[in-house]
Each structure stands twice: as structure tokens, then as C-alpha cells.
A = this chain, B = another copy of it.
């Protein structure tokens, strides 16, 4: 039985609708994964998370291996027990955060040595260790250890990162020993389309359960990102899920679905939520603003989330001003639901056959209000 079934393909674009079967349930794709970095989606109980429509969540191996540690998580029965979440979970391999967060990082063809940003303790992460750790954490989907170079690095570095990512993917696959867990490989190559092709082709030969496009949304801009995705996605098998890591704003997601992507993760809904930024179909709201002082409307009239059905904008603004946790929490809940409603709508339009037209309309609108305050209610 195939774990990924395409249920619908758009006639006018590479967009597809599918179902991914995991050890903890089914996922309708395209899907958006909220990020629970250190084992929690910040301030959001899994109960509320479920209610937003989240089907699968992400946790970061880097953070968890440092604290509380693999042994603790294993002892209590795995990541699902730590997170209080009985649905699917995906972990990244730790590679990306090692570079962005830790100090004293040394990397060679064999692996990575680094010092924890928490307490300076020394760690070593190589393909086998990253795989073993994820096998023990027991998420439903694990990621290969890859090297994600910074945007704008030297071409030689980019090639080296691709070469390492290919070699390490092979080692991850060989080390993988959890039969209830899928393993996805990560295509690197920056915005160099030749490198992306080389990397994709080598990884596809190894026959992974799914393929991610990493190393984007790192400063290259929307146009470069979509161009790279549009070039790379068709090089990946149609019958395997495609995951664009760390993406993104709603316009990024719509454009990437149009290019053939099935899975997304991003901290935006929650990080922005904690900073009083609320997504709406008519543009973002800044919940601390004086215009909301006595506004009895919800954040978004058409939104069915817990926040919008229970609280007026004035309450959210008050909570932020008063330093109440409910400010960040309620805005994050709304934003998470916003993203899930977006994915619902995407899947719906693919099903009804008018996705490409709808997507073009949305992208035109996004160009108008992207990043600006909402002008009308």
C-alpha cells in the first residue's frame, strides 16, 4: 500500500491534492505544519491546536536533543508523549539549527561538532547519529541530515553542501531502523538550478519516502524561491510527498502549491501571533494599535477560530497591553486557523478544478497588501 496517494491533480498547474498515511493518522495535502520547536507550539495546548485544524506538527531535533534530551524523551515513550499530541509529528534533523543557533561549530565531510547554545556542552551530529536520534524520538516522519549553507555563499561552498547532503542522505537511509517512521531526503543547491537538478536526481535514485526542498526562504526572495521550486519539484517523483521547508507567507504557500509542493512548515503564524500581528484575508492587523481600542468586531468576521468566535479585537489589544499571555495565545490561535483555512481553500480549489485561476487572483491581491496595515474592515 502506497503511503502517499494523489487524489486530485490540477489541470492547469502542477498543483496536486493527496493523502499521506502515517503511523498516527492521515494527512490531507497540501498541508501546513505548525512548529513546536522545543516540544510545544508556544502557548498553544494540543487541544487548541487540534481545533485549528492542524493535522501534523513539527518539532526540532536540535532543541530536543539538547533539552530535555533523547533519553528522557525515549523513557517517557517518545515525542508524542512529550508533546501531548497523538497525531502525526515530523522532526527535522538538527542540521539547520546547528548552524543558526550553536557556537563553535566545525563541519567536515563526516559530520558536525558543535557546542549547545543552552549550556555549551559539546555534541557531535553525523548522519547516523541524527538518524538514530530521530528513530528514538519516534516522530512519524524524520529528515535526513543535510548541510544548508547561507544564502549568497561561494559557489564552491554550495557544491560542497550538495555533495555532503547527498552522501549523508545515503548514510541516513542505511542507518534508518524504525519501521514505523518515514524518512525524507532534503534537496539542497541554493538557487543554482543545475545544482538543484544534480542533487534531486541523486536523491531520487535512493528512493526515499518523501523529498524536501531545503535551503530556501533564507533571503533569496519570493521570485527566486518560486523559480527554484518550479524547477526542482518536477524532478521529484510525482507519487512521493514534496515538502518545502520553512515556508512561508500565504503568497509563498499558494505559489509553491502551484509549483507542485504538498507540505509546508513555518513559524510565522505563531511568531507573528506573539508579536500582535494577525493575518486576515484583507491584510494583516497589528493588534496593539489604538484603532482597536474599543473595537467589538473579531479579528476576522469570516473566521471560525476560537479567538474570533469568543473575543473582540479590543480584548486582544488589551491583553497585549496588559502583558497577558492570552494576547499572544489568542492571536496565535487565530493565525494558525488562518493558515489551516488557507490550506482548506487550496485543497478545495484543486478539487473543483479552478486552482490556477484562484491562485493567480490571490497572488495579485497579495502584491497589493503584502506587509501593509489593513485599510478597511
Contact = CB atoms under 8 A, between A and B. Distances in A.
Interface of A: 38-40, 42-48, 63, 67-68, 71-72, 75-77, 81-84, 293-296, 306, 310-312, 314-315, 317-319, 321-322, 324-326, 328-330
Protomer copies:
2
Contacts of A75: 294, 296, 314
Contacts of A319: 39-40
Given A45-B330, A47-B306, A84-B310, A76 B315 contact: yes
B47 A324 contact: no
9 contacts: A38-B322, A40-B324, A42-B324, A43-B329, A45-B326, A47-B48, A68-B318, A81-B296, A325-B325
Closest 7 CB pairs of A and B: A43-B325, A75-B294, A84-B310, A76-B296, A68-B318, A40-B326, A40-B324
Nearest to A293: B72
A319 to B, nearest CB: 6
Nearest to A43: B325
Contacts of A38: 318, 322, 324
Given A76-B294, A325-B329, 16 more contacts: A38-B318, A38-B324, A40-B324, A42-B324, A43-B324, A45-B48, A63-B322, A68-B321, A72-B293, A72-B294, A76-B312, A76-B315, A81-B296, A81-B315, A82-B318, A84-B310
A296 B328 CA distance: 29
Contacts of A72: 293-294, 314, 318
A82 to B, nearest CB: 5
A86 to B, nearest CB: 9
Nearest to A312: B76
A46 B317 CA distance: 17
Contacts of A311: 81, 84
Nearest to A327: B40
Contacts of A84: 310-311, 315
Contacts of A317: 68
Nearest to A42: B325
A315 B40 CA distance: 10
A43 B326 contact: yes
Contacts of A325: 40, 42-43, 325, 328-329
Contact of A322 (B39, B321, B326, B329): B39
Contacts of A43: 43, 324-326, 329
Nearest to A295: B76
Given A47-B48, A77-B296, A67 B314 contact: no
